[in-house]
Structure formats: structure tokens, C-alpha cells
Structure 1
Amino acid sequence: MKFKKIYILSSLIVLLFIFKASIYRAIIKYEVVGSRKGYEVKDENLINFIEKELIEDDLIDIESILKKSRVLTNEKLHFTSSKCDIDPNKLITSEYTHCIGYALFFETICNYMIKKNPLLKDWKATTRIGELYFFGINIHNYIESPFFKDHDFVIIENAKTGQKFFIDPTVSDYLSIDTVSVR
């Protein structure tokens, strides 16, 4: 009997891990409440960081650029709730930031790679200010800390087709969830 309970519990944990992205997208929804001005890549260290990856990888479609942007963001940044930089040109060396910096860093890398590939000229990444809904309930109404008044994520959109990808770089880094859902 004890073995059966352990087996069931272990199986549930494995299933939750396997389907965590689908479960997250089903119960957590993002709603856009604003946008942030993006940054251009100016810092030589940031340029070299991105260019090294462009030489090593064949980034021929938007999915490969999104994946590489997630990998680079996750590799370089570390989360902090302290006062920090949000400018990607500074984050390349400071490395500690919160959701705003994560989103802006991801957006900047993504747009740089898109500009380098003329086949993808219709795509653009933009950082959005959002609120999170858990089973349809706005969780920000229950958090008093000004730090948690909203949460930034990135929308990558094709201007011609309207196709969109929704990515939360902070959640990608800490939960390995590639895309999120928007209300």
C-alpha cells in the first residue's frame, strides 16, 4: 500500500514536470497594460556577445532566433529584486536585473538578430507591461509590494501575417517555459 502511494505521487510529479509549460499556459494568462521603449545595441561587449552566436549558429527562421535569444538571456542574466540596471547595454556586464531588464535584454538581442537576417524583416519584438491572471483572477490586486505591481514580457509579431509569439524571459529562465498565454 505504501509503495502504491509513493508510485502515484512520483508519477504525478513526473507528469507535472513534463506538462509544466502546458499547465502554466492554461492557468496563468498575461494581459497587456502598457509598453516599454526598447533599446538599440550600442555596447561593444553586447555586440560581441551576440555576434559570436551568429557565427556559430544558422539562425534562418524566427523560431531559431527566439530560441537563441532565450538561451543568451538565460545564460547572461540573474534575477534580483534590488535596484538594478534595465539597459541591455549595461546588463551585459552588470548581469543582475528583474523582469523589466530580462524582457528588454531579450527584446534587444532578438531584434538585433532579426535585423541581421533580411528574410525576417517583417518581425519585431516589443516589451510589454502586463498583469498576470491566475484562473482569471488578477494576482496584482492581492500583492501590496510596488515591486510586483506589474510584470514585463515580450511580444514578437510579424507585421504582415499578424503571427505572434509571447515570451516571458524571466519565466523562461527559472521555469524553462518557452511561451506564455495572453488574454
Structure 2
Amino acid sequence: MKKFYTFLVVILLIILSRSFLFNFFFSYKIIDERKVLKLEQKVSNKNLKSVEDIIHDELNVTSSLLSFTFNKCDSDPNKLLESKKANCIGYSAFLAASIDNKFYSESLNNEWRAEHKVGEIYFLGYNIHPLFKTKFFKDHDFVVIENRKTNEIIAVDPALYDYFKISKIKLK
């Protein structure tokens, strides 16, 4: 019975520290950028002033509206509202557009901006993309939120958030 409780405690610790562990082992390197498209409608009506709150709320909205697919799908955030299916490109396109939309509605767009980035994921400093043969894994999309005045950067991966609730990623 003692082994069982020890096992449960270890599992609980892993779950609670998943963000720390993920960011200890993995980092993202920016290799390209995509244009942030405009959302034609608001997807969140909450009035939030904190940038951290906006990011967290929009990650939750993105996660609740979209479901992940490996299939080819649209990356226009307006069309994703209809199809509800997205890969990492669509998730990031939608999140960047919804955060930008929120920054504009909260009058934060002169100070903050969301950028749709393309990158590679590194495990302990090693690029993992060459390990995969399929074109689907040649790169990975994510979102970088940047303060135009202070250059503060917050990086998020909405697909990762949807599955593991890891809200921030580490840039290389």
C-alpha cells in the first residue's frame, strides 16, 4: 500500500509541476512569422485589464472553441469559428487574432501586440523536428505577445495549452 501512495504522490507532483518540467526540457526557436488576421466578431465579452488575464482568458476561449486535428484545415480565424477544427497553425492564428482583438477593445493595442510565429521545438537543446518524417512536423506554430514599449515577451502555445494546460512556453 505504501508503494501505491508513493506512486500517487509522484504522479500528483508531476501533474502540478508540468509547466515547470515542460519548460525545463523544451524550448521554442522562432524561424518565421505569419500575418495576424483580424477576427470579424468578438469571441470573449469579459472586460479584463491585465495582459496576463487576457492571455489566459483567450487561451481558454480558443481551447473551448477549437478541437485539434492532424488533417489539413483552414487557418483563417473567422472560418475556424464555423469549422471548429484546427491544427497548430489554426490554433495560433485564432489565438493571435483573438488576443489582438481584445487588446484593441481594451485600448491596449498601442502597448501590446500578439504575433503569430513559426518555430522549431528543442528538447534539451536538440531540435526534434528532423526526427519526424512527415511534413506535418516540419515546424510548429505558436503565439508571442510583446510589449511595444518594454519589449517584454510572453510566449504561448495554444495547442499545448488545449491538451496539457501549460500556459507559457520558453523561447530559445
The alignment's TM-score, normalised by the length of structure 1, stands at 0.91
Q: Percent identity?
A: 34
* Runs of 4 or more consecutive aligned structure 1 residues displaced over 4 Å after TM superposition: none
Q: Equivalent of 2:96, from 98, 107, 111? A: 107
User: How much has 1:10 moved relative to structure 2?
Assistant: 1.3
State the distance in 2 between where 1:87 and 1:119 align: 23
Gaps of 5+ in 1: none
Which amino acid letter does the alignment assign opposite residue 9 of structure 2?
S
1:18 corresponds in structure 2 to: 16
Is 1:153 matched with 2:142? Answer: yes
User: How much has 1:83 moved relative to structure 2?
Assistant: 1.5
Gaps of 5+ in 2: none
1:1-183 aligned within 5 A: 3-42=1-40, 47-48=41-42, 50=43, 53-54=44-45, 57-183=46-172
**Cα deviation digits, residues 46-104 of structure 1 (max 9, x gap):** x15x2xx32xx221121111111101100100000112111001000101010000000
Query: Aligned residue pairs: how many?
Result: 172
User: How much has 1:4 moved relative to structure 2?
Assistant: 2.2
State the distance in 2 between where 1:132 and 1:37 align: 21
Larger gyration radius, structure 1 or structure 2: 1
Which amino acid letter does the alignment assign opposite residue 117 of structure 1?
E
State the distance in 2 between where 1:125 and 1:134 align: 25
State the distance in 1 between where 2:102 and 2:158 align: 16
Tell me the SS of whatever aligns to 2:29: strand
Structure 1 or 2: more helix by fraction: 1
State the distance in 1 between where 2:163 and 2:82 align: 20
State the distance in 2 between where 1:37 and 1:119 align: 19
Which amino acid letter does the alignment assign opposite residue 77 of structure 1?
L
Tell me the SS of whatever aligns to 1:125: strand
State the distance in 2 between where 1:63 and 1:120 align: 14
Tell me the SS of whatever aligns to 1:182: coil
Residues 116 and 141 in structure 2, CA contact (< 8 A), matched pair in contact too: yes
The alignment's TM-score, normalised by the length of structure 2, stands at 0.96
Residues 61 and 120 in structure 1, CA contact (< 8 A), matched pair in contact too: no
